[in-house]
Amino acid sequence: MTTTIAALLGGPEMIILALAILLLFGGKKIPELMKGLGKGIKEFKDGQDGHNEPIPAKEPVKP
């Protein structure tokens, strides 16, 4: 009995979930969240592949 969450959610459930997320975060915040999620996934995959290049900082670090 191995089922995933995606198998349990159908069309109407996905629409309700999307509307709930839209109400919680608002239309302006969702693209920022997705951008951050994409960066996190990219860093995770790079870490798995063994790319150990330092990530450039946006702002200089103050001592």
Give the count of beta carbons closer than 10 Å to the beta carbon of residue 46: 13
Please name the helix (run of DSSP H) or strand (run of DSSP E) that holds residue 35, with its range, or none.
helix 29-49
Amino acid letter for position 36: G
For the chain, the residue count is 63
Tell me, yes or no, if the pTM score tops 0.75: no
pLDDT in tens, 8-54: 778 888 889 888 888 888 888 888 888 998 999 988 888 887 766 66
pLDDT reported for residue 39: 92
